[in-house]
Amino acid sequence: MIEILGYLGALVIGIVLGLTGGGGSILTVPVLVYILAINPVVATGYSLFVVGTSALFGAVKNIQKGLVNFKSSLIFAIPAVIAVFSTRKFIIPAIPHVLLETSSIVLTKEIAIMIFFALLMLVASFSMIIDRKDSLKTPSNTENSNDLNIGLLILLGVLTGLITGSVGAGGGFIIVPILVLLAKLPMKKAAATSLFIIAINSLLGFLGDVTTIDIDWVFLLTFSAIAVVGIFIGIYLNKFIDGKKLKKGFGWFVLLMGIYIFWKEMSM
């Protein structure tokens, strides 16, 4: 029964991704940890694969439409991929199991990851609730390769990679504003390019887990396949449902989930 709920969660993740174009992947880790009882360290690795596979389908579609800016993608993605891979391969395994221990508190690596993830969910929820098209408008919001702030893009790529590698989230809510404000991409191209970057970051970053965690490939491929089926269902339903309004509603749900996870982990 629990396994069925977990796979149902994968379907919901895919449907939300298909309906809203992003955000649904933030639920991957909570589903894996709280429904399927998978260790948080393993769950964040699995999440990278699920998120990367899901984003890849959207990225291919956007490439066919000519919406992906490859120059900005590579400048941002190369340092981000190195950071994600390094985080999963070296940093996460090197973190001690117990980070802090007192007479009343025991902070383990798993609890710390989930607390960090909960904080990330809070940030992600606000990015979905607030209308980004208005908040990200700039006077020079037109695509111009000469305006690229390459140094800052590389630095933010590394920071995004560290976050993605730590919690297994795609990070679209971080990447899109960066591409709009620094790469001067229009919102539509920024969202499309973000999916391409997420696919590269997540799938290549996941390679850092191949030799460090015991991967159940049958489960992971099944879970990912169900999420992809959900994406196609979501894309179909998007014809009948207002994705923008749904995304705001989903943002409020993610906000409540983030608060719940933070409370749950802090009270353990």
Cβ-Cβ contacts under 8 Å for 32 (sequence gap 6 or more): 6, 38, 42, 43, 46, 47
pLDDT, one tens digit for every residue, the chain (268 residues): 788 999 999 999 888 887 876 677 788 999 999 999 999 999 999 999 999 998 898 889 889 989 999 999 999 999 999 999 999 999 999 999 999 988 888 899 999 999 999 999 998 898 888 866 555 665 454 555 455 688 999 999 999 999 999 998 878 878 988 888 888 888 888 888 998 999 999 999 999 998 888 899 999 999 999 999 998 898 888 778 876 778 888 889 999 999 999 999 988 7
Q: Select from 50, 12, 60 the least CA-distant residue to 223.
A: 50
> What is the model's pLDDT at position 215?
93
Question: 151 vs 26, 85, 171, 200, CA distance in Å?
Answer: 28, 21, 20, 20
Rounded to an integer, what distance in angstroms lies between the CA atom of residue 221 and that of residue 203? Answer: 13
Domain ranges of the chain: 2-266
Question: 9 vs 14, 112, 227, CA distance in Å?
Answer: 9, 24, 8
Is residue 198 a contact partner of residue 56, using CB atoms and an 8 Å limit? no
End-to-end CA distance of the chain: 26
Rounded to an integer, what distance in angstroms lies between the CA atom of residue 231 and that of residue 24? Answer: 10
Rounded to an integer, what distance in angstroms lies between the CA atom of residue 242 and that of residue 1? Answer: 32
Rounded to an integer, what distance in angstroms lies between the CA atom of residue 261 and that of residue 70? Answer: 37
Helix (H) / strand (E) containing 143: none
Cβ-Cβ contacts under 8 Å for 61 (sequence gap 6 or more): none
3-state SS class at 51? helix
| pLDDT tens figures, 83-107 | 999 999 999 999 999 999 888 888 9
> What is the model's pLDDT at position 149?
80
Question: 235 vs 18, 28, 58, 238, CA distance in Å?
Answer: 5, 19, 10, 5
**Which residue type occupies 64?**
Q
Is residue 147 a contact partner of residue 140, using CB atoms and an 8 Å limit? yes
